[in-house]
């Protein structure tokens, strides 16, 4: 990066450290933090949408739809999440390839599962075998996002269903008395009010989602854990910047990163809760009203 870094072996002290921390692989390491943030930014809304869909389905009066919603929520109960992470990635990958196999190679006669191997025709490979490396990485990342969203969506569905059920019944009955249809009650009364009840659960879920991001590493994405292991391990004098085993320091840096993320989220979510409580018929809303000098 800097001109002075051309010959690392001649450097010492701070100059060496500066060049070391700005080497090409370290820049990739810093970018992987962005990968984690991107994953969070994409997964959170997608999971929320999945959760909303699940909660609405579970409330449906049509029996099969309700069963589908409840089944989705029950899916993640009682089973370690990490099993889902390992399972979904392979299952999704094989499912997608199997589908393409059915579409693109209808006259392929050999069975797909041959003993220990899963073999689809070359045209059904996703991404295609000759695709550049970038596409493989993007595909892996997309699989990770879907997996995260599926698992966290089930949890969000649980929380949102609880929020919907917590909206005072009187509010909905009043809306019905005004002659609103079921859709109108749902859109104009239930959905705007449910968030304050769902927020504690959603905040908790967000904090858990942050702490789940190192599992990206298990899914084969080059995330911060991958780079911390790679960069921290012992480098012999063959490398430009030889050093002993520094993995501990890299992991401590990750620890600090996660603690900062958690703290910042806690502060922001606390502020959001205060803002959303304004004018709500909850204990927090009531306390705000009294503090503002409203009539008791």
Partner 1 sequence: MSCWETIGDYAFRSLGFGERLLPRSDFTLCQQVTLIGSGMIWNVYFGIVALVTGFFLATGLAMAKAARSRWLRKPAEWFIFVFRGSPLFIQFFIAYQIFVMLPRNGIDVFGMTVATSWTTKAWAGALFVLFLNTAAYSAEIFYGALQSVPKGDTEAADAYGMTGWVKFRKVLWPTMLRLAWPAYTNEAIFLFHATTLVYFSGFPAFQQKGDALYYAQYFADKTFNPFIPYPIVAGYFILLTLALILLFGAMNRRLNRHLAPNQRPKLKLRPQLVR
- Count residues near partner 1 (CB under 8 A): 44
Min dist CB 18 to partner 1, Å, is 25
Task: Return the number of the residue (115 or 179) whose C-beta is nearest partner 1.
Answer: 115
C-alpha span between 4 and 232 (Å, rounded): 23
Regarding 70 and contact with partner 1 (CB under 8 A), the answer is no
> Is the torsion defined by CA of 216, 222, 224, 225 positive or negative?
positive
Regarding 158 and contact with partner 1 (CB under 8 A), the answer is yes
DSSP state of 6: G
Regarding 142 and contact with partner 1 (CB under 8 A), the answer is no
| CA-wise closest residue to 59 among 48, 71, 69 | 69
Near partner 1 by CB under 8 A, which window of 17-25, 48-56, 84-92, 190-198?
84-92
C-alpha distance from residue 21 to each of 9, 212, 236, 247 (Å): 15, 27, 17, 14
Helix, strand, or coil here: 107? coil
CB atoms within 10 A of CB 151: 23
Regarding 99 and contact with partner 1 (CB under 8 A), the answer is no
Q: Which of 31, 87, 135, 178 binds partner 1 (CB under 8 A)?
A: 87
Regarding 76 and contact with partner 1 (CB under 8 A), the answer is yes
The burial class, CB within 10 Å (0-12 / 13-18 / 19+), for 220 is middle
Task: Return the number of the residue (19 or 157) whose C-beta is nearest partner 1.
Answer: 157
Min dist CB 233 to partner 1, Å, is 11
Binding track over 9-38 against partner 1, x by CB under 8 A: ------------------------------
Regarding 268 and contact with partner 1 (CB under 8 A), the answer is no
Task: Return the number of the residue (64 or 80) whose C-beta is nearest partner 1.
Answer: 80
Regarding 81 and contact with partner 1 (CB under 8 A), the answer is yes
CA angle 179, 183, 188 (to 5 degrees): 75
Token digits for 180?
Answer: 């609103």
C-alpha dihedral, 199 to 81 to 230 to 139, nearest 10°: -90
C-alpha span between 213 and 165 (Å, rounded): 30
Helical ranges in the chain per DSSP H = 13-21, 24-59, 63-75, 81-104, 133-166, 169-177, 182-184, 191-212, 224-232, 247-277, 283-291
Task: Return the number of the residue (240 or 253) whose C-beta is nearest partner 1.
Answer: 253
Min dist CB 66 to partner 1, Å, is 20
Near partner 1 by CB under 8 A, which window of 20-28, 61-69, 139-147, 152-160?
152-160
Q: Which of 49, 259, 267, 268 binds partner 1 (CB under 8 A)?
A: 259
Q: Which of 214, 272, 286, 288 binds partner 1 (CB under 8 A)?
A: 214
Q: Where do contacts with partner 1 occur on this chain (CB under 8 A)?
A: 76-83, 86-87, 90-91, 94, 113, 116-118, 151-152, 155, 158, 204-205, 208-209, 211-215, 217-218, 225, 245, 247-248, 251-252, 254-255, 258-259, 262-263
């Amino acid at each position: 990066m800097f001109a002075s870094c051309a010959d690392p072996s001649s450097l010492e002290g701070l100059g060496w450290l500066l060049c070391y921390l700005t080497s090409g692989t370290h820049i990739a390491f810093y970018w992987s933090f962005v990968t984690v943030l991107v994953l969070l930014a994409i997964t959170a809304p997608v999971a929320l949408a999945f959760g909303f869909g699940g909660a609405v389905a579970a409330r449906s009066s049509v029996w099969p739809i309700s069963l589908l919603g409840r089944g989705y929520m029950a899916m993640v109960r009682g089973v370690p999440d990490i099993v889902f992470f390992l399972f979904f990635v392979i299952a999704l990958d094989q499912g997608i390839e199997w589908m393409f196999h059915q579409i693109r190679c209808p006259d392929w006669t050999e069975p797909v599962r041959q003993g220990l191997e899963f073999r689809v025709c070359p045209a059904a490979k996703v991404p295609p075998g000759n695709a550049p490396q970038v596409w493989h990485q993007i595909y892996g990342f997309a699989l990770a996002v879907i997996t995260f969203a599926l698992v966290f969506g089930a949890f969000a569905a649980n929380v949102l269903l609880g929020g919907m059920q917590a909206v005072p019944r009187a509010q909905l009955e009043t809306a019905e008395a005004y002659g609103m249809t079921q859709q109108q009650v749902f859109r104009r009364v239930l959905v705007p009010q449910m968030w304050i009840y769902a927020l504690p659960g959603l905040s908790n879920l967000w904090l858990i989602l942050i702490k789940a991001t190192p599992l990206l590493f298990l899914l084969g994405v080059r995330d911060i854990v991958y780079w911390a292991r790679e960069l921290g391990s012992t480098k012999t004098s063959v490398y430009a910047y030889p050093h002993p085993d520094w993995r501990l320091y890299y992991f401590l840096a990750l620890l600090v990163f996660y603690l900062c993320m958690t703290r910042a989220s806690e502060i922001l979510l606390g502020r959001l809760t205060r803002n959303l409580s304004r004018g709500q018929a909850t204990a927090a809303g009531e306390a705000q009203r009294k503090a503002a000098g409203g009539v008791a």
